[in-house]
């Protein structure tokens, strides 16, 4: 049986076994038909199920009947939920079926002045939700603010309206009105206006439509600025003065005083004074500039100097003590520093093998204390399922099985299998995080891939050994990898006759990967940037049969044009070549075949690569530019206008490119916790003879 046949059989089993797991939680939460039950109607399919689940959770015990308090409390919960959604005139109509089969109907509104007989015994309660109008801000009048614009003030009470969006975004409830008042006043305090007074008032409320008019009055008062900082230490303990010069002239808020206190405590903690207390007081005087000058006086009581007598552990039966001690920043005899204790707890938590990490300190004498770490080890086996969709691969399913804390050393072993209608992947990875108690991780991976590309079929098998480290100060991730792998390319479709190197190739190479990610979200970015680069050098000297070099660079940037309107830009460049005399050293599977939902969206995957007639030949160099304008329609939906431009060079001698393609299109996206679900159509602006006019894509995940 061929390897491809084996992979396809495994793919069917993976998808068949994976999909049922995705729906398992919804089945396991069902209640027994023998007990009393709740029914919620008129809220929509999803809201009905959500509210019913909440009632089942609150009244979780298996009851044969609900009493009067249960039913009344359930009505209160449902109406409170609707009021929080802006339905201030909501009602709940309950049809109560008693254990004797009789039925009665009761209606509750916001007054809750209806009470059931105390001997009520309900077998089934069916609630019908009566929403009424949804209340919203029709107008918010801002008065007297000399510091903040009306638009800034409004953001504390509701989101700005977006295109085609209902009044839900301007939701009004009394609690939201008061919450906005508190948040606005806190914001003014952080700007230095400690005497600011914010008043809110509901002026109008239309009971028929839900339209509300409210007023916000603001009196900022004088601004407070830092005029000086004075440090007073009890006793003769020498403490270096903290640098207060940058604080002078800054707007005063309680956070400034907290920063001064924290810096003083940390200084003394490092000297072994864990009981240090800092008390701050303020003196305020009017300045000639019209502001109020604030002088902060910090009174410091260091307490006794304390040293660590011993460090012990509990709850770590499967973890080696040497691993735990290697993550501690304290040892016996050191000055007791609470900051180092907290960092030690964080280091242990980052191992990923403990559910809880705590510590307790016990006094031995006034100058000596012991430390005991209380550890709770987590389950060492994890099983996760994967599911996705792409225009080319279509349905993808997979299974990940992970074993944590191997040999009690914090190592991890992971087996991952993924199958789609076009590819099958299996890999086993062994990871040693923080190798030799350093920030560097060591990993080894064996893998196998069988994939139907648009131009050929490929089978890759190999071994990778890598080191990874994150440089926090620079925010850069660095990976170095050595790999030895077999790349097998078959040309069943006769589309790649001109490719440089078909058939089997053994590749030995070293890779360097650098990345820096400053996006606000990796799933749905709205602001920030990401930079990544990848360099690979394959050589016979590294155990392979071919010599080639490959370099890739990409950068993406995201920003906001105006409220609800965002721009996104991505630039990717890749080049592969060989310093040897013959470019036939380059395996076909390492050439570039651009096109698809994450590339030039006027094409299916790989169909934007250079052609020779009806044959796709791949490219040795490409540059891809993606530009997008995204307009939010609601919190979940947005519409996208995009342009993709591609330059390619079939031969490195034509670097950087000698041909170009471009597409433009429109799409709609739905934001989920897994990333955006995208439906996009790209129209080709300069198609070649056999190219499509455009392509419709349905995909999950951000494109760049």
Average pLDDT, the chain: 88
Check: CB of residue 241 under 8 Å from CB of residue 221.
no
CATH number at residue 213: 3.10.20.310
Number of domains the chain is built from: 5
Do 559 and 636 reside in the same domain of the chain? yes
406 occurs within a structural domain: no
DSSP string covering 166-219, please? -GGGGB--HHHHHHHHHHHHHHHHHTT-TT-EEEEEEEEE-TTT-EEEEEEEEE
> For residue 394, what pLDDT is reported?
80
13 occurs within a structural domain: no
Strands in 37-41's sheet, in edge-to-edge order, are: 37-41, 122-130, 91-98, 103-108
Do 498 and 608 reside in the same domain of the chain? yes
> For residue 7, what pLDDT is reported?
46
Do 84 and 159 reside in the same domain of the chain? no
**pLDDT grade for 4, boundaries at 50, 70 and 90:** very low
Query: Over 656-690, what HEC string results?
Result: CCCEEEEEEEEEEEECCCCCCEEEEEEEECCCCCC
403 occurs within a structural domain: no
At residue 446, does pLDDT exceed 80?
A: yes
211 occurs within a structural domain: yes
Helices (H), 397-551: none
> For residue 307, what pLDDT is reported?
97
Domain boundary among 202, 219, 236: 219
Do 291 and 315 reside in the same domain of the chain? no
> For residue 647, what pLDDT is reported?
97
Do 581 and 682 reside in the same domain of the chain? yes
CATH number at residue 570: 2.40.160.50
Q: How far is CA 432 from CA 353, 410, 509, in A?
A: 13, 7, 22
Give CA–CA dist 390/701, Å, rounded: 9
Give CA–CA dist 245/471, Å, rounded: 30
17 occurs within a structural domain: no
Query: Over 554-585, what HEC string results?
Result: EEEEEEEEECCEEEEEEEEEEEEECCCCCHHH
Do 502 and 643 reside in the same domain of the chain? yes
Do 294 and 330 reside in the same domain of the chain? no
At residue 500, does pLDDT exceed 70?
A: no
Do 147 and 206 reside in the same domain of the chain? yes
More confident of the two residues 253 and 59 = 253
Query: Over 63-127, what HEC string results?
Result: CCCECHHHHHHHHHHHHHHHHHCCCCCCEEEEEEEECCCCEEEEEECCCCCCCCCCCCCEEEEEE
552 occurs within a structural domain: yes
Do 605 and 564 reside in the same domain of the chain? yes
CATH number at residue 57: 3.10.20
Do 477 and 586 reside in the same domain of the chain? yes
> For residue 251, what pLDDT is reported?
94
At residue 24, does pLDDT exceed 80?
A: no
Q: Which residue has the tokens 């540059």?
A: 623
pLDDT tens, residue by residue, 63-106 = 789 999 999 999 999 999 999 999 999 999 999 999 998 999 99
At residue 635, does pLDDT exceed 90?
A: no
Range of the domain at 554: 453-700
**pLDDT grade for 581, boundaries at 50, 70 and 90:** low
pLDDT tens, residue by residue, 343-392 = 999 999 988 899 999 999 999 999 999 999 999 999 889 999 888 777 77
Do 351 and 474 reside in the same domain of the chain? no
408 secondary structure, DSSP code: T
**pLDDT grade for 185, boundaries at 50, 70 and 90:** very high
Domain boundary among 130, 165, 195: 130
At residue 498, does pLDDT exceed 60?
A: no
Share of the chain above pLDDT 70, in %: 90
Domain boundary among 357, 377, 397: 377
Do 72 and 191 reside in the same domain of the chain? no
396 occurs within a structural domain: no
588 occurs within a structural domain: yes
Is beta strand 224-233 parallel, antiparallel or unpaired with respect to 211-219? unpaired
Mean pLDDT value of segment 293-311: 94
Query: What pTM value is reported for the model?
Result: 0.71
Mean pLDDT value of segment 314-320: 91
When mean pLDDT is compared across 93-97, 188-192, 235-239, 302-306, the lowest value belongs to: 235-239
Q: Which residue has the tokens 């923080």?
A: 434
> For residue 607, what pLDDT is reported?
93
**pLDDT grade for 18, boundaries at 50, 70 and 90:** very low
């Amino acid at each position: 049986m061929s390897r491809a046949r084996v992979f396809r059989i495994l793919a069917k089993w993976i998808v068949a076994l994976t999909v049922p797991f995705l729906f398992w939680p919804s089945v396991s939460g069902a209640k027994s038909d023998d007990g009393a039950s709740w029914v919620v109607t008129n809220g929509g399919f999803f809201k009905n199920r959500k509210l019913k689940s909440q009632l089942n959770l609150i009244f979780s015990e298996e009851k044969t009947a609900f009493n009067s308090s249960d039913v009344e409390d359930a009505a209160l919960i449902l109406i409170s939920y609707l009021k929080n959604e802006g339905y201030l005139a909501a009602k709940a109509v309950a049809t109560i079926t008693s254990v004797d089969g009789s039925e009665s109907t009761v209606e509750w509104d916001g007054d809750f002045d209806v009470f059931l007989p105390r001997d009520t015994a309900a077998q089934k309660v069916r609630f019908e939700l009566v929403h009424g109008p949804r209340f919203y801000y029709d107008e918010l009048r801002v008065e007297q603010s000399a510091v903040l614009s009306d638009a800034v003030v409004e953001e504390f009470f509701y989101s700005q309206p977006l295109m085609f969006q209902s009044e839900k975004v301007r939701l009004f409830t009394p609690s939201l009105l008061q919450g906005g008042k508190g948040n606005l006043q806190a914001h003014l305090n952080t700007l230095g206006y400690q005497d600011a007074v914010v008043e809110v008032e509901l002026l109008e409320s239309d009971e028929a439509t839900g339209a509300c008019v409210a007023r916000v009055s603001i009196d900022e008062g004088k601004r407070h600025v830092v005029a000086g900082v004075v440090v007073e230490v009890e006793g003769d303990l020498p403490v270096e003065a903290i640098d207060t010069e940058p604080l002078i002239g800054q707007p005063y808020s309680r956070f400034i005083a907290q920063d001064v206190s924290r810096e003083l405590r940390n200084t003394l903690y490092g000297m072994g004074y864990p009981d240090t207390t800092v008390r701050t007081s303020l003196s305020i005087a009017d300045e000639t500039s019209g502001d109020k000058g604030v002088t902060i006086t910090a009174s410091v009581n260091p307490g006794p100097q304390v040293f660590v007598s011993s460090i012990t552990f509990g709850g770590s039966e499967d973890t080696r003590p040497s691993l735990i001690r290697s993550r501690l920043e304290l040892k016996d005899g050191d000055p007791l520093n609470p900051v180092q204790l907290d960092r030690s707890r964080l280091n242990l938590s980052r191992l990923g093998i403990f559910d809880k990490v705590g510590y307790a300190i016990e006094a031995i004498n006034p100058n000596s204390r012991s430390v005991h770490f209380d550890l709770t080890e987590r389950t060492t086996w994890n099983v996760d399922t994967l599911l996705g969709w792409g225009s080319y691969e279509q349905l993808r399913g997979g299974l990940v099985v992970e074993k944590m804390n191997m040999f009690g050393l914090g190592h991890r072993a992971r087996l991952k299998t993924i199958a789609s209608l076009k590819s099958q992947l299996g890999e086993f990875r062994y990871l040693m995080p923080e190798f030799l108690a350093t920030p560097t991780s060591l990993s080894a991976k064996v893998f196998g891939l069988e994939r139907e590309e648009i131009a050929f079929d490929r089978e890759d098998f190999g071994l990778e050994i890598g080191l990874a480290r994150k440089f926090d100060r620079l925010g850069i991730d660095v990976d170095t990898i050595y790999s030895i792998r077999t790349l097998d390319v078959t040309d069943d479709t006769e589309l790649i006759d001109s490719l440089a190197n078909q058939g089997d190739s053994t590749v030995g190479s070293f890779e360097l990967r650098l990345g820096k990610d400053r996006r606000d979200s990796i799933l749905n970015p709205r602001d920030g940037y990401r930079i990544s680069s990848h360099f690979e050098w394959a050589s016979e000297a590294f155990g392979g049969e071919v010599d080639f070099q490959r370099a890739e660079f990409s950068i993406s940037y995201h920003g906001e044009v105006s409220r609800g309107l965002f721009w996104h830009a991505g630039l990717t460049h890749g080049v592969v070549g060989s310093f040897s005399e013959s470019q036939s050293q380059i395996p076909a599977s390492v050439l570039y075949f651009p096109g698809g939902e994450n590339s030039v969206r006027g094409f299916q995957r790989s169909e934007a690569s250079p052609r020779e007639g009806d044959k796709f030949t791949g490219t040795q160099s490409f540059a891809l530019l993606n530009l997008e304008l995204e307009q939010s329609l609601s919190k979940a939906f947005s519409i996208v206008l995009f342009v993709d431009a591609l330059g390619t060079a079939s031969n490195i001698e034509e670097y950087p490119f000698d041909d170009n393609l471009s597409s433009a299109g429109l799409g709609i996206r739905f934001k989920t916790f897994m990333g955006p679900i995208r439906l996009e159509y790209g129209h080709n602006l300069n198609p070649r003879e056999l190219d499509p006019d455009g392509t419709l894509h349905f995909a999950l995940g951000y494109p760049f």
